[in-house]
Structure 1
Amino acid sequence: MKKAFIIILLILLFNIDIFSEESEITIIRDKPTTLTYPSFNHTPFGIHRGTPFWLKVFLGNRTYFNDPQDLAATKLLADKSREPYQLTVYGVNSGNSEIIYNPSMYSLGIFGRYGRGEGELNHPVGIACNEEGDIYIADTGNNRISRWFNDSKKVRFIRNIGYYGENAGEFKEPKYVALDSMGRVYISDTGNNRVQVFDKSGGFLYMIDKTKGISNPQGIAVTDSFENYSGYRYDFIFLVDGNYNRIQKFDFKGNLIRTVRVDNFLNKEVKLTTLENDYYGNVYVVDNLNSCIYKFTPDLYYVTSFGKYGTDDYEFEAPTGIAIYKKFGQVFVSDKESAQYFWICSDAINFKAKKIQENEIQFDFFLTEKSFISIEIEDASVENSGQKITVCDKVTLEIGKNSLSWTVPEEYKEFLKAGKYYNTVITVMSTYSSYPHIKKIIKTLLFL
């Protein structure tokens, strides 16, 4: 049911202009904010999580949801009826061998059906799409790739690519698929332990096989230098493989750039399914076993984890899918009984302030996203509450560990006295997506 719920939520969410002007800023103090829910005015009635109720509202008894798998999202160029932020989203309903999508903002549709003929699918897993209307499905049970096209009015079948085998252009249980900006198709040919690359029409280009260290490839994502909506213009392939525990990064020539064994790094068992890149190239990886999302830099250095098992806000039930629309940092995550819609935000972890020498203060923190940072110091005493000074205002800092040293100006020395406690307040806002609607505020004590 996971993928269906995500599409239900999208239809609801995008009935309004989610990036319209908003007079109030949402302040978050006590929740993680690597990802955050959109503010109330950017959702229908504050709904940010789909439920079985909404499934019934839109589809009734037309179908049921059976082993949902991958997601894909885009803004179709041919669709002039919606705002730029209102997307078309596809979800693979694998057990029923069909794709659920939103043909309009007010309806759900289904294409594909079980079978082995043209326009039929057999327990597909992965899906990818682009703004031109191209759709590619990893038709796993039929050992092929199924190509479709959405002109914004109707989805139609184009052709099948490949068939069972071990030669170039042939497949054994292909699982996931990705597209680059030139229309090239990247396929996790799981049973053959390789990635195959095709042109838009299905012509074989090249492969990256087990001689490059690939084993049991799963989720795949691609960044490239010609993407329209990307601040990370480099040509790379990101891949989940191994025993669902490894992330690998390759260049387009198949050269291995970096490998991360996530289970070893985190010292726990994991089950990674798929992954996506955001605007800055950061990598978001779904861990089905631990019900969370891991975030890595484009160089595959660990940043943080988000979420835990559960059905409350900021929790997941065995998630399997993630889709990111890079232009506006819209993130969609599916899990067992719901679908959740997030914006990319930022958090400051382990925020500390300390005096390092006379008239010099150091602020240390770890950012989970490139951010705008403001820091203020307030008098912690009751009698002087409300008095504060500004250390910095809306400074841009990069993701990762940050340390700021501040020399106390002469005019503030009367306010900042040795032997007293002060509240140090950091305000964190992402540079896009949730900006300027949501900010995180964290407070820590400073003793001088």
Structure 2
Amino acid sequence: MVNLITSTKELDFMRFMVYNIFMFLVFIIILSYNPTTLVYPPFGHTMGYHSATSLEARLLFGNKLSFNSPYGISAVKLKSDDKPGGEDDDELTVYCCNMGAHQIVYNKSLMDVKTYGKFGRGLGEFWSPTGIAASPDGWIWVADAGNHRIVKLFNTGDTLLWVQTIGSFGCAELEFDGPYDVACDFKNNIYVTDEGNGRIQVIDSSGNLVRIIDGLYRPKGIAVVARNDRWNYQRNDFIVVLCEDGIKKFSMSGKLLAKRKGEDFGLTKYNFAFCMIDYYGHIWVTDRENGCIHKFDRDLKYITSFGRKGSGDKEFIDPRGITIWRRFGQVFVVDATVIDYYWIGVDGYIKGCFPPVFTGDRPGTDIVFFITEPAIMDSKIYDSKGNVVREFVNNYEETPFEHYLIWDGRDNYGEIVPSGEYRIELVLTPTYSSRKKFEKILDTQVIVK
């Protein structure tokens, strides 16, 4: 009996230790979770607000505003609000479809938020609006899904004015069956995903049909970048649309250029909702199933995913609309009852040094690293005492993905370094607004014998 009791106590103790080790590891993982492809803006820019919840909205603006199933979102710098100089250039007007309340929520400033619309079929009324697009000229287009139409509004600077409606229920030209999303280009042409009819309708600024891209399987989110758009680094010219059978890229004339399914980059389940194109032509896609945002290059090559399921920082419960102000890399993401605000940062990791050990007879190693964003990289190599022995300054990496830094094993004076351990440090600085407030440091070690 004594041995049995002792064994039971030992077993309980082992279980206790295993449980505590497991919880410690979970705690470490939670603490270490801090992806930086997107980063929070500094306090001075937002007064500490990087998420707008229904509770915060009611506290700030009263019971007149409450998020009820928010969906599509669009951010723009209005020409009418663009004062001389550059001090206010990052102060944007943001519009969001508050679908469950059948209204549009928009701001005049950080502390001045308004709503427009109510439930109905007439003027000034919406029925479950899902997608929205806006231009610097003040025009706004709303995918009024329940009413099977596109609503055109105008922002006077003080209020929103109802301009016109386009379409009604049907399958003919300029008719819709549940329009889901809308995008616009610099000419104020709009691109509408006509979900029930399986097509995209391209409409000019006067409301005339330009073309139809059909044969799509339940198209939803859409984004467009035109060659002459002001903030377009690569002079890209394409359309991206999210369908239930994957992501598709088209030319402006409707030619299929590329397509990608979730299975192509390791997903078994996914629910792509909305998308946006940034300054470099990279494509960002919200995934409601996996609680994250996927990022691709302009050829739909997968780069990375940001976020995970959850309600904490840099986590999403049900990510929906996304918008990016390309000039500064300002990103707004709609979650279940929250609107999150980020800046584009940069993330990455060092894959390794090849070889990890070298000698003075055969000096040198290749440092292989991966980055998620274009970045300016300063690299330093330190000896075991913390002294800089070699420095590489201002290496501009234009593209994400894998890169190589070749160290020939020599110091700044051209001499082969003595034996010992050396720390390699890569400092990545973003190219957007976050560059003045954030940098990503990657490091690893190499041994010289």
* TM-score, with length taken from structure 2: 0.87
1:371 alignment partner in structure 2: 375
Amino acid at match of 1:128: A
Specify which of 162, 166, 179 is matched with residue 174 of structure 1: 179
- Aligned counterparts, 1:118-137, within 5 A: 118-137=123-142
SS for the counterpart of 1:435 is helix
CA, structure 1 residues 226+411, in 2 after alignment: closer, same or farther (shift >3 Å)?
A: closer
CA, structure 1 residues 442+422, in 2 after alignment: closer, same or farther (shift >3 Å)?
A: same
The offset of 1:159, in angstroms, is 0.6
Q: Residues 39 and 438 of structure 1 are in contact (CA less than 8 Å); yes or no, is this contact kept in structure 2?
A: no
Q: Residues 283 and 295 of structure 1 are in contact (CA less than 8 Å); yes or no, is this contact kept in structure 2?
A: yes
1:185 alignment partner in structure 2: 190
SS for the counterpart of 2:161 is strand
User: In structure 1, how many angstroms separate the alpha carbons of the residues matched to 2:338 and 2:253?
Assistant: 39
SS for the counterpart of 1:254 is coil
CA, structure 1 residues 447+119, in 2 after alignment: closer, same or farther (shift >3 Å)?
A: same
SS for the counterpart of 1:125 is strand
Deviations 1:76-109 (A, max 9, x none): 1011468111010011011121001113443111
Amino acid at match of 1:428: L
SS for the counterpart of 1:141 is helix
User: In structure 2, how many angstroms separate the alpha carbons of the residues matched to 1:338 and 1:410?
Assistant: 51
Query: Rg larger in 1 or in 2?
Result: 2
CA, structure 1 residues 131+261, in 2 after alignment: closer, same or farther (shift >3 Å)?
A: same
The offset of 1:208, in angstroms, is 0.3
User: In structure 2, how many angstroms separate the alpha carbons of the residues matched to 1:114 and 1:163?
Assistant: 17
2:242 alignment partner in structure 1: 240
Which stretch has the larger CA shift, 106-115 or 59-68?
59-68
Specify which of 29, 37, 41 is matched with residue 40 of structure 2: 37
Q: Residues 382 and 390 of structure 2 are in contact (CA less than 8 Å); yes or no, is this contact kept in structure 1?
A: no
Amino acid at match of 1:141: G
Identity, in percent, stands at 35
Aligned residues: 409
1:113 alignment partner in structure 2: 118
User: In structure 1, how many angstroms separate the alpha carbons of the residues matched to 2:411 and 2:315?
Assistant: 48
CA, structure 1 residues 131+421, in 2 after alignment: closer, same or farther (shift >3 Å)?
A: same
1:26 alignment partner in structure 2: none
SS for the counterpart of 2:56 is helix
Specify which of 160, 165, 177 is matched with residue 165 of structure 2: 160
SS for the counterpart of 2:63 is coil
Q: Are 1:62 and 2:64 counterparts? A: yes
SS for the counterpart of 1:78 is helix
The offset of 1:334, in angstroms, is 1.9
Give unmatched runs, 5+ long, in structure 2: 1-31
User: In structure 2, how many angstroms separate the alpha carbons of the residues matched to 1:447 and 1:47?
Assistant: 45
SS for the counterpart of 1:438 is coil
1:225 alignment partner in structure 2: 227
Specify which of 214, 217, 221 is matched with residue 215 of structure 1: 217
Deviations 1:106-131 (A, max 9, x none): 31111111111122111110000010
1:149 alignment partner in structure 2: 154
Q: Residues 69 and 336 of structure 2 are in contact (CA less than 8 Å); yes or no, is this contact kept in structure 1?
A: no
Q: Residues 103 and 154 of structure 1 are in contact (CA less than 8 Å); yes or no, is this contact kept in structure 2?
A: no
Deviations 1:321-380 (A, max 9, x none): 211000110011121243221111111223423447622121101110111111111223
The RMSD of aligned alpha carbons is 1.9
User: In structure 1, how many angstroms separate the alpha carbons of the residues matched to 2:295 and 2:311?
Assistant: 21
1:330 alignment partner in structure 2: 330
Q: Residues 354 and 446 of structure 1 are in contact (CA less than 8 Å); yes or no, is this contact kept in structure 2?
A: no
Q: Are 1:407 and 2:408 counterparts? A: yes
Tell me which of the two structures has the higher relative contact order, counting C-alpha pairs closer than 8 angstroms and 6 or more residues apart: 1
1:361 alignment partner in structure 2: 365
Amino acid at match of 1:143: H
Give unmatched runs, 5+ long, in structure 1: 1-28
Q: Are 1:138 and 2:128 counterparts? A: no
Amino acid at match of 2:350: N
User: In structure 1, how many angstroms separate the alpha carbons of the residues matched to 2:77 and 2:347?
Assistant: 28
User: In structure 2, how many angstroms separate the alpha carbons of the residues matched to 1:110 and 1:117?
Assistant: 17
The offset of 1:412, in angstroms, is 5.8
SS for the counterpart of 2:289 is coil
User: In structure 2, how many angstroms separate the alpha carbons of the residues matched to 1:119 and 1:337?
Assistant: 24
Q: Are 1:199 and 2:204 counterparts? A: yes
User: In structure 2, how many angstroms separate the alpha carbons of the residues matched to 1:263 and 1:115?
Assistant: 41
User: In structure 2, how many angstroms separate the alpha carbons of the residues matched to 1:165 and 1:403?
Assistant: 55
